[in-house]
Amino acid sequence: MKIQNLPAEINAIYQDTVQMENSAVEAIVKKLLNIIEHLAAENDAQKIQIQELRDEINRLKGEQGKPDVKANKKKDGDISSEAERKEAEANANKDVATINQESPEETSGKKKKRKREPKLAKIKIDREEICYLNKDGLPDDLISKGYVPVVVQNIIIKSDNVKYLREVYYSLSAHKTYLGDLPQGVKNQGEYGPGIRTLIPVLKTECLMTEKRIIGFCQNFGVRISATYLSQQWTGGYDMFHQERSDLYRSGIEASHYVQIDDTSARVNGTNQYCQVVCSPLFTAYFTTPKKDRLSVLDVLTDFAPPQYLYNQQAQKLLDIFKLAAKARAAIDACVPFDVVMTEIEFKANLNTLNSLGPRQRIHFTEACAIAHYQQQTEFPIIDKLLADDAPQFKLLTQWLGLCWVHDGRHYKKLKPIVPIHQSALTDFRNRYWAYYTELLKFKREPTLEKKLSLAIEFTELFSTTTGYEDLDDRIAKTLAKNSELLLVLDFPQLPLHNNEAELGARVQARVRDVSYQTRSDSGTKIKDTFMTLNQTAKKLGVSFYDYVHDRVTGLFKLPSLADLIIQKGSHCRLERWLHLGI
């Protein structure tokens, strides 16, 4: 029998078993079907491993392995839940038809119109030009009716190379030469003006151009610039923006009702590192770290403030969660001062006295004390609601942790049963899963206590389902265990149900990595993170990144800081939320 015919044979056997009306036989068959699922999954994994080994053998022989030809469309290999999420949002939006006094049938029959924002009002008009009518051959009784406006957008890129002639005077009495001052923005800035110094971060950050491409761009417009200057200016000519980044990050955390986080890989001078993305509707910030453990994430949340530690009741509760052995706990209580803030040097000195602690116990104790200090310190704003995926390094850092429903939904899409009854059970449950997600979306729009209690009960019922398909039942039980994190939206309806905002921010870093591959120095990594932060935050605030950088480079400082704009927008959003809730 061919493997392709196996599902049909299994389905026939199961149907025969059902007709026997014997529960014991049916239970045995269900167990055998699950064994088949496990063997099929193991077989698929072994096929992949065998092909990898064959490819490696061919490479050792100097030959090529099996070519990695991508399919035209992703089907079985696609585990994304974006299609389901969008469909759920579309279903939740059907309530709009009722508001517009249209029946769902009428609405569904109409072609969905594409929503376009009017752009004419947003276009800056630089000049006006009158187009006169050629009256030759036209009637003599023409009456003027004014003008019909037609807006044509255009951009002019040209050089503005200036030869400054500085007056020179010499004083015989002072034995000194005096020169006329250069204009602001040019003085003490070398041979390149503010336009070039503004264009470099814009081309690198927004346009993702390499230094070689930037040089080619400038040469097309009569500007001669060297790779050495570009590198030196990029890594050392914009240090003032680091403080702008720190200020907007602090303001963003203070003004945001919640914060989202995600990470993606980064390459620094030949080593693999991680770019942490912290964001909210008001800002997006980037931080590259050598590791992505819990202490590294904590450094990011405090903007790399000097680490401090505190052994108190909160730290003890965390040690309970880490299940630290009683012997280790006794040694800590005997050697470490209680409720005393310690610097890193002081903490390490105390830690070195705890010889009985193993490596893992030392990490847990360090994390507990660092988190305990973070949650009670006042030097930096504390994040109380964090939305992330289910990665362990994001847990225990904040008072509330919300998890992404889309991430959780991907686990169900990874299941690939071959038994028809299991396929049917998976399809039915996934439909119920996203139907429940739709109800959560509706609750976010009109949160009520009655609906909150109803959804909490429905969650328990839904994720207590048993289907007989063991892999699916295990996955359902894991979702049930995360009920407090997935249902945080019932207590805070303004929280999103997914972490797409942070993932979109991570794509920016991924695109930079695709173009430039890596940064070569710490200063290059830092300025990359800084300008990515400024650029993405400026977009959220509706600020021109070019205008903002130019304003700072010229030293005019006419534009308000992004930090101030975040506070203003945050206050406006809070007011709108209070009005919506009737407070």
Mean pLDDT by 10 residues, the chain (583 residues): 60 62 67 76 82 81 71 62 81 63 49 67 88 91 91 89 92 93 84 92 94 92 91 92 96 96 94 96 96 96 96 96 94 94 95 92 96 96 95 95 94 88 91 95 93 96 93 95 96 94 95 91 95 97 95 93 94 58 46
Report pLDDT for 16.
61
| Rounded Cα–Cα distance for residues 374 and 307 (Å) | 9
Q: According to the model, what pLDDT value does residue 86 have?
A: 81
Sheet architecture: strand order including 400-403: 283-289, 271-280, 259-268, 385-388, 400-403
Answer for the pair 397, 444: CB distance below 8 angstroms, yes or no.
Answer: no
CA 429 – CA 86 distance, rounded (Å): 18
For residue 541, what are its two tokens?
């605030």
* 160: number of Cβ within 10 Å: 10
What is the pLDDT at residue 524? Answer: 94
The whole-angstrom separation of Cα 467 and Cα 353 is: 53
The residue among 414, 410, 418, 413 whose CA lies nearest residue 39 is 418
Beta-carbon contacts of 137 under 8 Å, excluding residues fewer than 6 positions away, are: none
At 570 the pLDDT is 86
Q: Residue for token digits 């729009």?
A: 445
Residue 82: the pLDDT is: 77
Please state the φ and ψ torsions of residue 176, each to the nearest 5 degrees: -145, 145
Q: What is the pLDDT of residue 1?
A: 44
Assess contact for 95 and 103: CB atoms under 8 A: no
Give, for 313, the enclosing helix (H) or strand (E).
Answer: helix 313-321
CA distances from 561 to 36, 122, 233, 456, 564 (A): 62, 22, 22, 43, 5
Give the single-character DSSP code of 466.
-
C-alpha–C-alpha distance, residues 11 and 14, integer Å: 5
pLDDT of residue 542: 93
pLDDT of residue 48: 82
Q: How far apart are CA 297 and CA 287, in angstroms?
A: 10
Report whether 324 contacts 365 (CB < 8 A). Answer: yes
Rg, Å, the chain Cα set:
31
At 476 the pLDDT is 96
The pLDDT assigned to 37 comes to 77
